[in-house]
């Protein structure tokens, strides 16, 4: 987190923390989507802030589901448990990879629009409404608020992840548009290949890169991925949430590139 972002983060954390669940939810339109996220032990004390930011949206989803490892059943903080109710629930899994934030709700809500997000962000008030508006205009597409372009050189060699251009640059190959989960990604029903549920395979090929796994599954299903046509401000990082981060591991070690190569080789994906 940049120094200039700290005051903004702390202000919004305080603002969200002290509002009651009733006040956050009161008088809002409910749209037919499920918002899903997963968390880890080191963020158990702050993930309630992300949940509150989703409840603080202009519109509300039908459901918000948080996925935790089953070992945490007896460790739920009060600030998190007191948010549970008709709108928000906590579910438990036997595995802890980030893939579960989409793999699990796809099994429970196969006919619902599912929006995934990260557990260390505070999402802007128009985050959910804008994603849903983009979906209504592009109902068959996977839609990301943030995207990158999976980029190859002139010899068709995959470039390092740092060279995959952001969504502000036009991607020459539409198939190479990669939605980035941190900004929020919307998945319409039946948009991913059935192999999405293969836990053994996704842990083998993309143990630290759920975004890449879901991108490959959309390609196998021939589902387009696009950047939302309704841009919003970036989400606000929660202060103190980045002690453990897949982003650091994947980018600094260029493991996104390694895992994408594993996917393209296994599924024979060509660009």
* HEC per residue, 69-118: EHHHCCCCCHHHHCCCCCCEEEEEECCCCCCHHHHHHHHHCCCCEEEECC
Q: Which domain holds residue 147?
A: 3-267
pLDDT for 1: 64
Q: What is the average per-residue pLDDT within 221-227? A: 97
In DSSP terms, 147 is beta-bridged to 179
Q: Give the relative orientation of helices 100-108 and 210-220 as an angle to the nearest 10 degrees.
A: 50
264 pLDDT more than 90: yes
Q: What is the average per-residue pLDDT within 114-137? A: 98
- Separation between Cα atoms, residue 64 and residue 44, nearest integer Å: 16
253 pLDDT more than 70: no
- Separation between Cα atoms, residue 132 and residue 247, nearest integer Å: 26
Task: Give 25-45 pLDDT, tens digit per residue.
Answer: 999 999 999 999 999 999 999
Task: Give 150-208 pLDDT, tens digit per residue.
Answer: 999 999 999 999 999 887 778 989 999 999 999 999 999 999 999 999 999 999 999 99
244 pLDDT more than 60: no
In DSSP terms, 31 is beta-bridged to 61
252 pLDDT more than 90: no
Cα 9 from chain centroid?
20
| pLDDT bracket for residue 119 (50, 70, 90) | very high
257 pLDDT more than 70: yes
Q: What is the average per-residue pLDDT within 242-271? A: 79
Q: What is the average per-residue pLDDT within 70-88? A: 96
Q: What is the average per-residue pLDDT within 114-136? A: 98
* Closest among 263, 125, 138, 148 to 195, alpha carbons compared: 263
The residue among 247 and 103 whose pLDDT is bigger is: 103
Sign of the four-CA dihedral 159, 197, 116, 141? positive
Helix (H, G, I), strand (E, B) or coil at 270: coil
251 pLDDT more than 90: no
**Residue 236 DSSP label:** E
Identify the H or E element spanning 61: strand 60-69
How many structural domains compose the chain? Answer: 1
Q: Give the relative orientation of helices 6-17 and 47-55 as an angle to the nearest 10 degrees.
A: 70
| pLDDT bracket for residue 247 (50, 70, 90) | low
100 Cβ neighbours under 8 A, 6+ residues apart: 38, 67, 93
What is the value of pTM for the model shown? 0.94
**Residue 183 DSSP label:** G
- Separation between Cα atoms, residue 33 and residue 135, nearest integer Å: 11
Query: End-to-end CA distance of the chain, in Å?
Result: 34
Under a CB-based contact definition with an 8 Å cutoff, are residues 218 and 190 in contact?
Answer: no
The residue among 251 and 234 whose pLDDT is bigger is: 234
Tell me what the pLDDT averaged over the chain comes to: 93
Whichever domain contains 259, its CATH number is: 3.90.550.10
The residue among 117 and 249 whose pLDDT is bigger is: 117
Rg (CA), the chain: 18
């Amino acid at each position: 987190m940049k120094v200039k972002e700290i005051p903004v983060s702390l202000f919004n954390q305080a603002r969200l923390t002290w509002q009651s669940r009733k006040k956050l939810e009161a008088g809002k339109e409910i749209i037919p989507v499920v918002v899903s996220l997963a968390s880890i032990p080191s963020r158990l004390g702050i993930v309630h802030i992300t949940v509150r930011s989703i409840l603080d949206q202009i519109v509300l989803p039908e459901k918000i589901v948080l996925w935790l490892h089953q070992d945490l059943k007896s460790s739920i903080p009060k600030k998190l448990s007191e948010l549970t109710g008709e709108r928000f629930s906590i579910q438990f899994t036997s595995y802890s990879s980030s893939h579960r934030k989409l793999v699990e709700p796809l099994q429970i809500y196969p006919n619902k629009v599912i929006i995934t997000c990260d557990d260390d962000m505070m999402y802007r008030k128009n985050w959910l409404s804008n994603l849903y508006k983009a979906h209504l205009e592009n109902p068959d597409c996977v839609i990301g608020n943030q995207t990158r372009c999976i980029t190859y050189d002139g010899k068709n060699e995959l470039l390092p992840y740092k060279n995959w251009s952001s969504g502000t640059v036009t991607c020459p190959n539409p198939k190479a548009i990669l939605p980035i989960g941190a900004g929020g990604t919307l998945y319409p029903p039946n948009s991913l290949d059935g192999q999405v549920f293969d836990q053994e395979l996704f842990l083998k090929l993309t143990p630290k890169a759920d975004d890449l796994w879901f991108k490959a599954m959309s390609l196998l299903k021939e589902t387009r991925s696009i950047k939302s046509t309704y841009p919003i401000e970036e989400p606000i990082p929660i202060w103190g949430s980045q002690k453990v981060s897949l982003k650091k591991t994947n980018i600094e070690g260029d493991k996104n590139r390694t895992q994408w190569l594993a996917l393209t080789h296994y599924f024979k994906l060509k660009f």
